[in-house]
Structure 1
Amino acid sequence: MSLIDDATRAELSGLYQADDRHYHGIRHIEALLGLLTEYRTQFADPEAVEAAIWFHDAIYDSRAKDNEAQSAALAAGRLHGHVDAPRLISIVKMIEATATHEVPAFADASAKADAALLLDMDLSILGAPADIFDAYEDAVRREYGWVGDTDWRAGRGAVLRNFLARPRIFHTDIFVTRFEAQARANMERSLAKLGG
């Protein structure tokens, strides 16, 4: 049973349909929900993951540095009293982890595994076919339209190099197998277009 009631889903859908949401919008949420359906049997607590998906980009301002923390706080406020405390802590930690895409420390191995797969789903766009990846890159660039080209190339290049420097972009074997090679090819191509 979903932890997101109709009123909350409607509220969040409204946030995701704001005019400045070129990538971090409702289609991103729908894509993640589709992956959740596809991999549902892999999750120990798919309802908690669904809640984390709905809230993880609820607050999004490309000029801000604390979107994930604000989104996690929104989830904590909306779900308080409807979800038991350990489960709510897990949801909040998963949302916060989307800031760095590093798996958070959990005492519970199944919660850690759920977080790893959620983070991989959030990054799956990196391993999309080239045309879809390019559209994603263009959409993110529009979200940062206020950033000049020189600063954009430097900042985006640093993000891409950080991911490429990891031994594995994805945490789970499932997503390494499915997306790793394409993600590396996409990001190398993007870096070349950025000039480095």
Structure 2
Amino acid sequence: MTASSEKSTPFPANTHEDTGAMDFSAWARAWSVLGVTAASHETYEALIRRYDEPHRAYHNRQHLTECLRVRRGVDASCQAAAEVDLALWFHDAIYDPLRNDNELRSAQWLAEVARDHGLCAETQRRLYDLVMVTRHDAAPASADQAVLVDTDLAILGAPPERFEEYDRQIRQEYSYVPLPLYRQKRRQVLEGFLARGRLYTTATYFDAFETQARANLAHAIGRLD
């Protein structure tokens, strides 16, 4: 790895042990910014149970904690930071590697919770759209969507040891896929990222993660040879 690719990033450390970023007070603060004074503890607990499901090796509370901490650490400009944070809470709320509608179901859940908390239809729609953009099949349509996507992809620019852990975690989630097929599909995904003109839309995320992400991706692809 070149010296430039070893540049440190603001990616958080020790998120296996860190629970503060996603405790109930953090959840309640995000809702309170939107005027909700009594955030649902029941929904919070249901969400945590989802992230703790045993089939999740990567899309679990470690990933959620990292996303919430990265969003604050990088501090890219947001139009509605609380909406971005709530979308992060829900962006992998539903996760089944055998299905292709996880983002849709997660977005619908967030929109329903927002409605039950008394938020207006326009806010419900923005929250829904924020989660849906994490399908990564279209360019972000707003500054907040760009921050959300860049936060979700920050793992690509994590320090090498965390990126390699992430790579193993993804394989674990897809352990039912035969290794030759997995290696083929994983190469396609990683090469697709590497072929992009830039991985991160926002300038702050680009500066923080782009160089390391490209080094990580190239190294991971090399391991698939």
TM-score, L = length of structure 1: 0.91
| Partner Cα separation in structure 1 for residue 176 and residue 51 of structure 2 | 20
What is the distance in 1 between the residues matched to 2:140 and 2:111?
A: 17
Q: What amino acid maps onto 1:66 in structure 2?
A: D
Q: Which residue of 2 aligns with 1:2?
A: 30
For the residue of structure 1 that corresponds to 2:135, the secondary structure is: coil
Of 35-44 and 162-171, deviating more is 35-44
Letter in 2 for 1:73: Q
Q: Tell me: CA distance 1:36–1:6, structure 2 relative to 1, closer, same or farther (3 Å).
A: farther
Structure-2 residue corresponding to 1:85: 121
| CA distance in structure 2 between the partners assigned to 1:56 and 1:121 by the alignment | 11
What is the aligned partner in structure 1 of residue 80 from structure 2?
Answer: 45
2:23 — aligned with what?
none
- Residues 76-85 or 7-16, more deviating: 76-85
State how many pairs are aligned.
Answer: 189
Give the letter aligned to residue 78 of structure 1: V
- Structure 1 residues 41, 131: closer, same or farther in 2, change over 3 A? closer
Q: CA RMSD in A?
A: 1.5
For the residues of structure 2 that align with 1:188 and 1:31, how far apart are their CA atoms?
23
Give the drift of 1:145: 0.6
Q: Distance in 1 between matches of 2:111 and 2:190?
A: 31
Identify which of structures 1 and 2 has the higher relative contact order when contacts are C-alpha pairs closer than 8 Å and 6+ apart: 2
The residue type paired with residue 9 of structure 1 is Y
Structure 2 gaps of 5+ residues are 1-28, 32-38
Q: Which residue of 2 aligns with 1:108?
A: none
Q: Deviations over 1:21-60 (max 9, x none)?
A: 1110011111111123324572221111111011100110
Percent of aligned positions that are identical? 34
Name stretches of at least 5 consecutive residues in structure 1 with no aligned partner.
106-111
- How far apart, in 1, do the equivalents of 2:73 and 2:140 lie? 23
Q: Which of 129, 136, 145 matches 1:100?
A: 136
The equivalent position to 1:143 in structure 2, one of 148, 151, 173, is 173
- C-alpha contact 1:124 1:179 (8 A) present in aligned 2: yes
CA deviation string 1:92-112 (max 9, x = no partner): 11111111164343xxxxxx1
Rounded to whole Å, the distance in 2 between the matches of 1:69 and 1:99 is 9
For the Cα contact (< 8 Å) 2:146–2:202, is it kept in 1?
yes
CA contact (8 A) 1:101 1:119 kept: no
